[in-house]
Amino acid sequence: MRDAVTSLIRNYDSIGRYLDRDALDTLKSYFASGTARVRVAAVINGNASAIVKQAGSRLFEDIPELIRPGGNAYTTRRYAACLRDMDYYLRYASYALVAGSMDVLDERVLQGLRETYNSLGVPIGSTVIGIQIMKEIVKEQVAAAGIENASIVDQPFDYMARELAEKDI
């Protein structure tokens, strides 16, 4: 898993260049936002089960057919699998926040996930909605914790949603 620093250095190393002003500004920004990113991760870590539970409740309230007979979250096993997956997305979003890089999402979550979900008949649209609901809940909790820049929460959740969403070919 790479973070923003190792990714930046790797990119410059691969083209044989010294770090320029843009690279140094990127590093400054990464380090300047470090405390906020760690605080957000602490909020997520301390409230993960409540976030997942609340997001699941909101998702099933918004899309009740998921928990009705024939729905993808119908039966206790499928319902639990849905919440388990939401917990994975939340945990990896926290890793991406701390790393300041979306590489962990590509490496550990997104590669092959869309194809797996399609083959299992898991509705990707509702998965994306669930990810966005978790983002909203995390942002609410981050704001309640007094962390000023709650917008840093957007990047990993939006990245997962965008990568999973249906794409025109």
pLDDT in tens, 133-154: 999 999 999 999 999 888 999 9
Q: Where does the pLDDT of residue 1 fall: very low under 50, low under 70, confident under 90, or very high at 90 and above?
A: confident
pLDDT in tens, 82-98: 999 999 999 999 999 99
pLDDT in tens, 24-39: 999 999 999 999 999 9
- Tell me the CA end-to-end span of the chain in Å, nearest whole number: 30
Residues 63-77, mean pLDDT to the nearest whole number: 95
Task: Parse the chain into domains and list their residue ranges.
Answer: 1-32, 34-164
pLDDT in tens, 35-51: 999 999 999 999 999 99
Answer with the residue of higher pLDDT: 120 or 18.
18
Choose the CATH number for 34-164 among 1.10.490.20, 3.40.50.1360, 3.40.190.10, 2.102.10.10. 1.10.490.20
114: CB partners within 8 A, 6+ apart: 124, 163, 164
Instruction: Please check whether residue 90 is in contact with residue 141, taking contact to mean a CB–CB distance below 8 angstroms.
Output: no
